[in-house]
Chains A and B, each alone.
Chain A
């Protein structure tokens, strides 16, 4: 089991931990690229671009952007022209600050879409570490049964594990409900993190965390960095990502839809299928990106365009490499395991990682290209771990012993 884990680890090392932003300029050249940017196009469309602050043009461009980011193959100006969602007067030449804030408004949802799985993964890891004393025993699986005093026979165990694995293979590599796939990815990330925490010696884990953050930074940002070249090749070839190495949060909201239910259901069904299609031909390294899940559907047939825009905005998902999950969980898990039983350190690392993720997503919105997800979070996490363990813990313990509150 260990050798296999290490092979998987090497594969992960090579491919993971990137965040990227597909420029919609790429999708302008390729007709049907389902991965388009979270923010509007960098270069506004020439046909409808006009200086000045007229509301229809603004609405047009806005709609064009939203349709464009909706990934539709042919954003026709006729369609854009018809949509008059009554947007107020706005300067068309948006600068970076505005785009950044636009992402802040739409991007808050995506940050939460990543907060939730990262938090879940960490909770699983910390709960397992605190309850099972995993790292002191050889075989963790039976340890769980012993800890909870559950009687289990081999056939049942075999049956359960076999089904667990089979369903996981099906729903990750083929089709399956989105939530089930996400749950599986979180579970395997948590298991992988537990393997790291258990088998890596004390200081090796910290050094590896630091080194891999630096490697991530170099590999993604340097012009000849391997991960960057991989991402660019994937963008050129329009190849999607290997599904088992990336967590996708593409979801569809149908709340607040005033149109007839059948139309909305058709649209969501299309979006879900296209999301699954996209996942099954994925072959590329994992990286965080924003994608539009409803890629293939043509312009819907219902009259109100503003609802389409709303649906398109709501459907943008975001992706995060599983390696990021794993190393975040390793950091928090080690904080839970080795920080002398202190919960403050664990929580401080948790908050630090979440803030790092938030900042990384903000930078993603600003720079709009592939970004590594590890460095900021791991740096904050490490700083907070060592400082909380050595400085804050004695302070809080001394205060608590006198029942003082600050």
Chain B
């Protein structure tokens, strides 16, 4: 407990997100705006889902715990569907903005590509989703207390941190795949993304049986990552080229300078 747990869990949960933000988003103002707007869209979806859940709870019997649990499951499912719906809405908005930027730029190309926007929007959904899930837990982890004193799992904090990290990654990958699927009208990809989101959320219902929830969630995360990598245009060849990139670049430089000479004539 205390500062150790707090810092450890914070870095586990948000280390990748923070690094991705610093390295890829922080330098470009347009991406920061897309990030914040994506967070806003996710928040609106959460608001609507909470409203639906709240109304359903108010109309139901408060004493029946099974019913309340069922309503919670229902609320979570509605929230997942609304998140994906707002992701689609954000896709539409970004598409329009992309067209506007393209018509206006000097060379007819927008300063940011749709794939980059897909990545940033996925990252924004991931960050805000992770933050909203875990920030209160992290704030509680500083203070005095004993974890699991009523018989719950003592690994609550660290598993929450790992789940949050998985959620961040998942949203990023889902963003990439989703936008690409919408762009190319591959509806089965869309359905698969929504289904995997529902499955992931459903797997967390198996907590605190962490072997059954964390391990499959990470398997899903890795497979989504591979899928997103290939969707974004990556390939094994690219990876190998990147790893041995220095030699390649020199060759290209020589070629380019060789091409320059006739132009100047």
Closest 6 CB pairs of A and B: A108-B29, A101-B104, A112-B29, A403-B207, A391-B50, A395-B50
A100 surroundings in chain B (CB, below 8 A) = 100
Query: Is B212 interfacial (CB 8 A cutoff)?
Result: no
Give Cα distance in the complex from A342 to B137, angstroms: 10
Q: Which of A87, A399, A402, A406 has the most CB of B within 10 A?
A: A406
A391 touching B139 by the CB < 8 A rule? no
Give Cα distance in the complex from A276 to B205, angstroms: 60
B53 surroundings in chain A (CB, below 8 A) = 395
Q: Which of A348, A391, A396, A403 has the most CB of B within 10 A?
A: A403
A406 touching B79 by the CB < 8 A rule? yes
Residue in A closest to B163 when the chains form the complex, CB atoms: A405
Query: Is A388 interfacial (CB 8 A cutoff)?
Result: yes
B46, B104, B111, B204: the one contacting A405 at CB < 8 Å is B204
A403 touching B156 by the CB < 8 A rule? yes
Give the interface size class of chain B. Answer: 35 or more
A387 touching B201 by the CB < 8 A rule? no
Asked whether A351 and B128 contact (CB < 8 A) given A392-B47, A403-B159, A404-B204, the answer is yes
Q: Which of A115, A343, A404 has the most CB of B within 10 A?
A: A404
Minimum CB–CB distance from A345 to chain B (whole Å) comes to 10
Query: Is B105 interfacial (CB 8 A cutoff)?
Result: yes
Query: Is B64 interfacial (CB 8 A cutoff)?
Result: no
Among the stretches A159-167, A190-198, A352-360, the one at the interface with B is A352-360
- Given contacts A100-B100, A344-B132, A404-B205, 13 further A-B pairs with CB under 8 A are A98-B103, A105-B30, A347-B128, A351-B43, A355-B36, A387-B47, A390-B54, A391-B50, A395-B53, A402-B72, A402-B205, A405-B201, A406-B129
A402 surroundings in chain B (CB, below 8 A) = 69, 72, 205, 207
A97, A343, A387, A398: the one contacting B100 at CB < 8 Å is A97
Query: Is B133 interfacial (CB 8 A cutoff)?
Result: yes
Query: Is B244 interfacial (CB 8 A cutoff)?
Result: no
Residue in A closest to B102 when the chains form the complex, CB atoms: A101
B72 touching A399 by the CB < 8 A rule? yes
A101 surroundings in chain B (CB, below 8 A) = 100-101, 103-104
Query: Is A102 interfacial (CB 8 A cutoff)?
Result: yes
B220 surroundings in chain A (CB, below 8 A) = none
- 5 A-B pairs in the complex with CB atoms less than 8 angstroms apart: A101-B101, A343-B135, A344-B136, A391-B47, A405-B204
Query: Is A104 interfacial (CB 8 A cutoff)?
Result: yes
A342 surroundings in chain B (CB, below 8 A) = 136
B97 touching A395 by the CB < 8 A rule? no
Give the interface size class of chain A. Answer: 35 or more
Residue in B closest to A341 when the chains form the complex, CB atoms: B139
B99-138 interface code vs A (CB 8 A; 1 in, 0 out): 0110111111001000000000000000011011101110
A398 touching B29 by the CB < 8 A rule? no
Query: Is B172 interfacial (CB 8 A cutoff)?
Result: no
Which DSSP category, helix, strand, loop or mixed, fits chain A's interface? helix
B204 surroundings in chain A (CB, below 8 A) = 403-405
B141 surroundings in chain A (CB, below 8 A) = none
Give Cα distance in the complex from A347 to B111, angstroms: 29
Minimum CB–CB distance from B261 to chain A (whole Å) comes to 21
A347 touching B40 by the CB < 8 A rule? no
B75-101 interface code vs A (CB 8 A; 1 in, 0 out): 110011001000000000000010011
Binding site for A on B (CB under 8 A): 29-30, 32-33, 36-37, 39-40, 43, 46-47, 49-51, 53-54, 69, 72, 75-76, 79-80, 83, 97, 100-101, 103-108, 111, 128-129, 131-133, 135-137, 139, 156, 159-160, 163-164, 167, 200-201, 204-205, 207-208
A88 touching B75 by the CB < 8 A rule? no
**Beta-carbon contacts under 8 Å, A382-401 to B:** 384, 387-388, 390-392, 394-400
B46 surroundings in chain A (CB, below 8 A) = 392, 395, 406
B200 touching A405 by the CB < 8 A rule? yes
Residue in A closest to B156 when the chains form the complex, CB atoms: A403
Minimum CB–CB distance from B218 to chain A (whole Å) comes to 13
A395 touching B54 by the CB < 8 A rule? yes
Asked whether A391 and B136 contact (CB < 8 A) given A112-B32, A404-B207, the answer is no
B139 surroundings in chain A (CB, below 8 A) = 341, 343
Asked whether A105 and B101 contact (CB < 8 A) given A392-B47, A395-B49, A404-B201, the answer is yes
A87-114 interface code vs B (CB 8 A; 1 in, 0 out): 1100000000110111011001101100
Minimum CB–CB distance from B201 to chain A (whole Å) comes to 6
A105 touching B201 by the CB < 8 A rule? no
Residue in B closest to A100 when the chains form the complex, CB atoms: B100
A97 surroundings in chain B (CB, below 8 A) = 100
A400 touching B47 by the CB < 8 A rule? no
Give Cα distance in the complex from A105 to B159, angstroms: 42
B101 surroundings in chain A (CB, below 8 A) = 101, 104-105
Give Cα distance in the complex from A384 to B46, angstroms: 11
Asked whether A406 and B40 contact (CB < 8 A) given A104-B101, A105-B101, A394-B54, the answer is no
Give Cα distance in the complex from A404 to B100, angstroms: 40
Residue in A closest to B105 when the chains form the complex, CB atoms: A105
B51, B69, B137: the one contacting A400 at CB < 8 Å is B137
B106 surroundings in chain A (CB, below 8 A) = 87-88
B159 surroundings in chain A (CB, below 8 A) = 403
B136 touching A396 by the CB < 8 A rule? yes
B29 touching A111 by the CB < 8 A rule? yes
B37 touching A355 by the CB < 8 A rule? yes
A343 touching B136 by the CB < 8 A rule? yes
Residue in B closest to A62 when the chains form the complex, CB atoms: B106
Minimum CB–CB distance from A102 to chain B (whole Å) comes to 5
A243-271 interface code vs B (CB 8 A; 1 in, 0 out): 00000000000000000000000000000
B32 touching A115 by the CB < 8 A rule? yes
A112 touching B201 by the CB < 8 A rule? no
Give Cα distance in the complex from A89 to B20, angstroms: 38
Minimum CB–CB distance from A344 to chain B (whole Å) comes to 5
